[in-house]
Amino acid sequence: MKYTQLGRTGLKVSRLVLGTMNFGPQTDEADSHAIMDAALDAGINFFDTANVYGWGDNKGRTETIIGNWFAKGGDRRDKVVLATKVYANMAPDGQGPWPNHDKLSALNIRRAVDASLKRLQTDHIDLYQFHHIDRDTPFDEIWQAIDTLVQQGKILYVGSSNFPGYKIAQANEAAARRGGTIGLVSEQCLYNLFERRAEMEVIPAAQDYGLGVIPWSPLHGGLLGGVIRKEAQGGRRASGRAADTLNDPAARARIQAYEDLVDKHGLEPGEVALAWLLTRPGVTGPIVGPRTAGQLESALRAAELELGEELLAGLDEVFPGPGPSPEAFAW
């Protein structure tokens, strides 16, 4: 496993990030623990979760599963760079949040950190991420709350998720004005071969401010994992974002062209999609969210895959990016 620095920090993290969103809803606790053991054995030291994972009436369940895994000992916690997120309404689906029980007020941040620490059975979170922008809370209030938590030793670094470029700039300029606050060190964003809009503003802002980029949904909901071939072979059918996209004839033609290109090179679509992200400037590592041990093994193969210039050029033809910023949108 290769490692890199997380943005401008001294923190070393693996080039693959273990996403845990499926732990609980789709993967039971025993299998989730087996996947985490296998990931750690393979050298993946960067685990990502969120307080809301578990979903529905089981929000927080994923953090609990991870906490139970840490409790098994064997230096599991010491070896893991642990990232979780705050923002969501933690009430069961259908129930509105009690005032100050969601978003990024100082009160909710303090409450959410303590709840996550309890579920995760740890005394600190390595990377605490804002899951979404909060239009109602000023960054001065947010950073005051974060500074207190850092001083208490409850969190070490702070990242963002789903932030536009201008909010990354606002957040770090506010941190700089306060002095003594490191500000955001990472941005977790939707970024993959099919969805490259992050190249317009988010990734340039992240690079300028020294943030590591952590792409989520690297296969775009399974769309880049050989979905058309799997359908033809009677396998698992596309659902969610992938199914909606395939209903568009033009998009389906692009995915078919992608699968044909990858097949020409004798490679697996999902592994190529992950390997491509590892070639992108500013990317720390994509989040892989395996439901099974086999899916983790595929991701590990992708981390070792070297893509040739011919294939990279072909990928740009099938999925052209927006081009350099600001030219891409200015003229």
What residues are labeled active site? 53
Spatial neighbors of 318 by CB under 8 A, at least 6 apart, are 193, 254, 257, 258, 261
Q: How many CB atoms lie within 10 A of CB 248?
A: 11
Quick check: 50 and 84 in contact, CB under 8 A? yes
CA distance 56 to 142: 27
CA angle 160, 165, 170 (to 5 degrees): 75
- C-alpha span between 113 and 129 (Å, rounded): 11
Pick from 217, 193, 229, 196: nearest CA to 315: 193
How many other CB atoms are there within 10 angstroms of residue 279's CB atom?
A: 12
CA distance 218 to 30: 25
DSSP per residue over 87-137, as a string? -S--SPTTSPPPTTSSTT-HHHHHHHHHHHHHHHT-S-EEEEEESS--TTS
Give me the DSSP letters along 185-213. Answer: EEEEEE-SSS--GGGTTHHHHHHHTTPEE
